[in-house]
Amino acid sequence: MNKIINTEKAPAAIGPYSQAVEANGTLYVSGQIPFVPETMAVISEDIREQTKQSLENVKAILEAAGYSLSDVVKAGVFIKDMNDFTAINEIYNEYLGEVKPARACVEVARLPRDVKVEIEVIAVK
């Protein structure tokens, strides 16, 4: 049976989806954009701050489900501009550098609310 995960410590879904779904000991965290949960506003235009906020949102959802960043096995990073790749990696490494999950990073034409980065993860206990 699937378990829907929802926490006020991460931004509310802005569409018809869940923050995360747990199925058979695996947690699937929806893509997180750099919204501040309390205001549902983009943290700033700075790519490093946007990456940090996206990862803080991921972390909050993981923790609400009883997981941690060390349980992450796969990440998907969607970025508006591949020129931001190095800056994003610097912040990403602070959060997941020890874990080194499998990852895809792709440049996309557009992200929700015109943010610069969106991050999704899969975690396994």
Q: What is the chain's pLDDT, residue by residue, as a tens digit (125 residues)? A: 899 999 999 999 989 999 999 999 999 999 999 999 999 999 999 999 999 999 999 999 999 999 999 999 999 999 999 999 999 999 999 999 999 999 999 999 999 999 999 999 999 99
DSSP state of 11: P
C-alpha pair distances (Å), 55 with each of 28, 48, 117: 14, 11, 10
Position 64 scores a pLDDT of: 98
Position 45 scores a pLDDT of: 98
DSSP state of 68: -
Phi and psi torsions of 75, nearest 5°: -130, 145
* Cα first-last separation, the chain: 16
Position 12 scores a pLDDT of: 94
In degrees, to the nearest 5, what angle opens at C-alpha 82 toward C-alphas 117 and 115? 25
Position 1 scores a pLDDT of: 84
Name the token pair of 62. Answer: 């993981």
Map out the domains of the chain with their CATH numbers.
Answer: 3-124 (3.30.1330.40)
